């Protein structure tokens, strides 16, 4: 009888240790997966950061140049900057609008893609509506800041941008922000006829969330910055600006704390490692007590 009790006790202890071990493996696996996902997400955002492309800016004296970027990737045709935001990227154009959904400006695979001019537009911006696409991303990456213009206070404070193409800097005066359906053919097709241009002007007038008192004529050249929004099904935030021959200096802006976002990711990883160490310590202590 004593032998049977001892066997049962040993079986229970072994089972208990196995359950503890399985639980530990599961916890460590989940934490490892979480850590990997955080690391992977951080890699995507690092590649999408505008700072990656700063050395290539055509308006600054860096070790690299805009021409060097074009030598790396001949699809690069210009540079877009929206003053006092994080939108400060080279943009590309290809024969279709699919390639640069997941390809960066250097021609490498990237989930963040590139800023790109619609394939049907003239690369010299001679069209009435010149459509530029970019992914909406968190942490102010790519076209993430376009959504900020749906806040009226933000819209009121951000008037200008810069568009570099054909070796010349041009100004952008932003006129309105709209929210449209992605399948709105009138909004995302290049206007050729005078009738189409007039219809586009009516589209702007009837769909503006906020609009400045700036006249638009069929002879103007508009920049249409578009990206996704979660505010509506199949929704797009569409920021409309007019190209000018005047450039607009950017106001000195305060540090908005991009480094804090990176620090937070690192902090999460550190917390995961600390939790793993604590769990291991608890299991080791428990085993010693047993």
Q: What was the pLDDT predicted at 222?
A: 98
Q: What was the pLDDT predicted at 118?
A: 98
Instruction: Tell me the whole-structure pTM to 2 decimals.
Output: 0.74
Contact partners, residue 89, CB within 8 Å, separation at least 6:
50, 53, 79, 80, 81, 105, 114, 115, 134, 142
Which regions in the chain score pLDDT beneath 70? 1-21, 23-48, 59-63, 252-290
Q: What was the pLDDT predicted at 249?
A: 86
Average pLDDT of the chain to the nearest whole number: 82
- Buried b / exposed e over 194-209, threshold 16 CB at 10 Å, is eebbeebbebbeebbe
Q: What was the pLDDT predicted at 53?
A: 85
Q: What was the pLDDT predicted at 139?
A: 84
Q: What was the pLDDT predicted at 18?
A: 66
Contact partners, residue 48, CB within 8 Å, separation at least 6:
110, 112, 135, 137, 141, 142
Q: What was the pLDDT predicted at 63?
A: 59
Q: pLDDT exceeding 90 applies to what percent of the chain?
A: 58
Q: What was the pLDDT predicted at 29?
A: 59
Cβ atoms < 10 Å from Cβ of 186: 13
């Amino acid at each position: 009888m004593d032998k049977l009790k001892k066997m049962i006790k040993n079986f229970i202890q072994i089972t208990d240790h196995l359950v503890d071990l399985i639980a530990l493996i599961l916890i460590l696996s989940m934490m490892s997966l979480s850590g990997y996902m955080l690391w992977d997400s951080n890699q995507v955002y690092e590649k999408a950061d505008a700072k990656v492309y700063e050395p290539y800016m055509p308006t600054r004296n860096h070790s690299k140049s805009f021409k060097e970027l074009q030598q790396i990737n001949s699809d690069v045709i210009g540079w877009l900057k929206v003053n006092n935001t994080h939108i400060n990227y080279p943009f590309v154009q290809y024969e279709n609008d699919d390639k640069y959904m997941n390809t960066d400006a250097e021609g490498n695979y990237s989930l963040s893609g590139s800023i790109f001019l619609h394939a049907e537009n003239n690369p010299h911006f001679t069209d009435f509506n010149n459509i530029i696409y970019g992914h909406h991303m968190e942490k102010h990456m790519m076209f993430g800041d376009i959504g900020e213009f749906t806040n009226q206070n933000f819209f009121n404070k951000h008037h200008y941008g810069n568009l570099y193409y054909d070796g010349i800097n041009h100004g952008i005066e932003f006129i309105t922000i709209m929210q449209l359906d992605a399948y709105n053919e009138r909004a995302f097709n290049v206007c050729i006829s005078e009738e189409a241009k007039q219809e586009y002007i009516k589209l702007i007038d009837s769909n503006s969330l906020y609009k400045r008192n700036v006249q638009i004529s069929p002879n103007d050249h508009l920049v249409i910055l578009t990206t996704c929004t979660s505010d509506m099904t199949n929704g797009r935030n569409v920021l409309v600006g007019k190209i000018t021959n005047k450039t607009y200096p950017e106001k000195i802006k305060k540090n908005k704390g991009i480094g804090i976002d990176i620090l937070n990711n690192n902090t999460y990883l550190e917390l995961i490692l600390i939790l793993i160490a604590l769990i291991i310590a608890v299991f080791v202590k428990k085993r010693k007590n047993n």
